[in-house]
Amino acid sequence: THFGFREVPTGDKQKLVGQVFSSVAGNYDLMNDLMSAGIHRIWKRYFVATCQVKRGDRVLDLAGGTGDIAALLKDRVGDGGELVLGDINGAMLRVGRDRMTDRGNVRGFEYVQCNAETLPFPDASFDLVTIAFGLRNVTDKDAALREMLRVLKVGGQARVLEFSAVKAEWFKPLYDFHSFQVLPRLGKLFARDADSYQYLAESIRQHPPQDELKRMMETAGFARCGYKNLSGGIVAIHTGYRV
Ligand code: SAM
Domain contains 203: yes
Q: What is the structure's pLDDT at 11?
A: 61
Whole-number Å distance between alpha carbons of 12 and 34: 28
Whole-number Å distance between alpha carbons of 153 and 129: 10
- Return the percentage of the chain with pLDDT > 70, whole number: 95
Mean pLDDT estimate for the chain: 91
Contacts of 28 (CB under 8 A, 6+ apart): 21, 65, 66, 92, 95
Ligand 1: distance of its center to the CA of 154 in Å? 26
Please state, in angstroms and as integers, the Cα–Cα distance from residue 173 to each residue in 1, 144, 170, 178, 179, following that order: 7, 32, 7, 9, 10
pLDDT tens-digit readout, 38-75: 999 999 999 999 999 999 999 999 999 989 999 999 99
Q: What is the structure's pLDDT at 31?
A: 84
Domain contains 4: no
Ligand 1: distance of its center to the CA of 167 in Å? 25
pLDDT surpasses 60 at 1: no
**Domains held by the chain: number:** 1
Ligand 1: distance of its center to the CA of 4 in Å? 24
Domain contains 223: yes
Domain contains 5: no
**Residue ranges making up the domain that contains 175:** 10-241
| Whether the CB of 130 sits within 6 Å of ligand 1 | no
pLDDT surpasses 60 at 198: yes
Mean pLDDT in residue range 107-129 = 97
Domain contains 3: no
Domain contains 211: yes
Strands (DSSP E) found in the chain: 58-62, 82-87, 109-113, 126-132, 152-163, 223-230, 235-241
pTM of the complete model beyond 0.90: yes
Domain contains 226: yes
| Whether the CB of 60 sits within 6 Å of ligand 1 | no
Burial tier of 192 (Cβ tally within 10 Å: 0-12, 13-18, 19+):
exposed
Domain contains 1: no
CATH number at 114 reads 3.40.50.150
